[in-house]
């Protein structure tokens, strides 16, 4: 897929041309009978001016939309029930959200905008993290999906606090549970949101009994693990621990 380069800094010249031709058309139509000349020529000029204005509409809308996207948009959300209903349409794929594929043209766009200062389009908001204008470089969002076969190996998710790592795990866990796969989550931090997501996914799948939670600090809310369940003798625990200690 190729994407045409368009300098995000430049003014909307297409809109100026559109306005100019519309003004010419309006003036020609309104003043046609005030010059003491044949009105037909003025009417033709009005129609031709409108035709010229229409040729600039697409470009003006495109540049205006690009500038609007650079200003940032609210986060998009999807209800769990709607998410579960859409899962069959992603058969064989892993849905990662809405966005766009980062191509070399986006790198050039970002570099040019950083040189000019993105604050002219997206003033900095101290209450929001990151550079919101980066997401606007791609224009309209689309579904981001990768084949499930690409996730057979390891996956590394890196990001600062608040960047969206937990929300990404929400997507991965929910889709795996809805596909009927076994999911094991080891979370040393004990993230409650991630725990609630896993439980909600089991409910959405119609198998709430699949959710099992273990936390040694909250025994009243946790399941119990018997380390000697599969042992024949209590001494096996000591012998197995001793086997792990270097001689």
Span 94-144, pLDDT tens digits: 998 888 888 888 888 888 888 877 777 777 777 777 777 888 787 778 888
Q: Are 67 and 122 in contact (CB under 8 A)?
A: no
Question: With 0-12 CB in 10 A as exposed, 13-18 as middle and 19+ as buried, what is 144?
Answer: middle
pLDDT value for 135:
80
Residue 86 has pLDDT above 90, yes or no: no
Q: Are 143 and 171 in contact (CB under 8 A)?
A: no
Look at the chain and report how many structural domains it folds into.
Answer: 1
pLDDT value for 51:
94
pLDDT value for 1:
45
pLDDT value for 17:
93
Q: Cα–Cα distance between 159 and 131 in angstroms, integer?
A: 14
How large is the average pLDDT for residues 172-180?
A: 92
Least confident of 63-72, 199-208, 215-224, 237-246: 63-72
pLDDT value for 201:
92
What single DSSP character describes residue 229?
T
Show the CA angle centred on residue 116, arms to residues 113 and 117, nearest 5°.
80
Instruction: Identify whether 118 is part of a domain.
Output: yes
Instruction: Identify whether 15 is part of a domain.
Output: yes
Instruction: Identify whether 176 is part of a domain.
Output: no
The label of the residue with tokens 């604050």 reads 119
How many Cβ atoms are within 10 Å of 167's Cβ, its own excluded? 14
Domain range for 21 is 1-70+101-137
Q: Cα–Cα distance between 50 and 45 in angstroms, integer?
A: 9
Instruction: Identify whether 5 is part of a domain.
Output: yes
Angle between helices 165-178 and 192-204 in degrees, nearest 10: 20
Q: Are 61 and 53 in contact (CB under 8 A)?
A: no
Instruction: Identify whether 189 is part of a domain.
Output: no
Instruction: Identify whether 197 is part of a domain.
Output: no
Least confident of 54-63, 184-193, 200-209, 223-232: 223-232
Which are the contacts of 179, defined by CB distance < 8 A and separation ≥ 6? 87
pLDDT digits (tens, 9 = 90+) for 216-239: 888 888 888 777 777 788 788 788
145 phi/psi in degrees, rounded to 5: -135, 150
Q: Cα–Cα distance between 145 and 94 in angstroms, integer?
A: 5
**Mean pLDDT in the chain?**
84
Which are the contacts of 50, defined by CB distance < 8 A and separation ≥ 6? 21, 22, 25
Q: Cα–Cα distance between 93 and 12 in angstroms, integer?
A: 39
Residue 2 has pLDDT above 70, yes or no: no
Instruction: Identify whether 199 is part of a domain.
Output: no
pLDDT value for 137:
82
Instruction: Identify whether 60 is part of a domain.
Output: yes
Q: Mapping DSSP to helix (H, G, I), strand (E, B) and coil, where does residue 148 land?
A: helix
Q: Are 135 and 99 in contact (CB under 8 A)?
A: yes
pLDDT digits (tens, 9 = 90+) for 20-31: 999 999 998 888
């Amino acid at each position: 897929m190729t994407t045409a380069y368009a300098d995000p800094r430049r003014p909307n010249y297409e809109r100026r041309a559109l306005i100019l031709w519309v003004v010419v058309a309006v003036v020609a139509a309104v003043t046609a009978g005030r010059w003491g000349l044949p009105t037909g020529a003025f009417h033709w000029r009005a129609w031709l001016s409108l035709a010229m204005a229409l040729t600039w509409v697409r470009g003006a809308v495109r540049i205006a939309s690009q500038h609007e996207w650079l200003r940032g948009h609210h986060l998009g959300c999807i209800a769990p029930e709607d998410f579960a209903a859409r899962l069959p349409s992603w058969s064989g794929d892993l849905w990662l959200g809405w966005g766009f594929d980062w191509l070399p043209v986006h790198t050039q766009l970002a570099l040019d905008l950083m040189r000019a200062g993105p604050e002219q389009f997206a003033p900095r908001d101290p209450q929001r993290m990151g550079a919101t204008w980066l997401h606007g470089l791609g224009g309209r969002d689309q579904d981001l999906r990768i084949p499930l076969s690409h996730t057979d190996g390891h996956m590394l998710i890196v990001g600062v606090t608040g960047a969206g790592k937990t929300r990404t795990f929400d997507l991965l866990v929910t889709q795996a549970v809805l596909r009927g796969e076994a999911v094991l989550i080891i979370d040393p931090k004990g993230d409650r949101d991630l725990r609630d997501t896993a439980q909600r996914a089991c409910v959405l799948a119609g198998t709430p009994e699949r959710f099992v939670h273990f936390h040694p600090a909250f025994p009243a809310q946790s399941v119990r693990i018997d380390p000697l369940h599969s042992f024949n003798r209590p001494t096996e625990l000591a012998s197995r621990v001793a086997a792990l200690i270097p001689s």
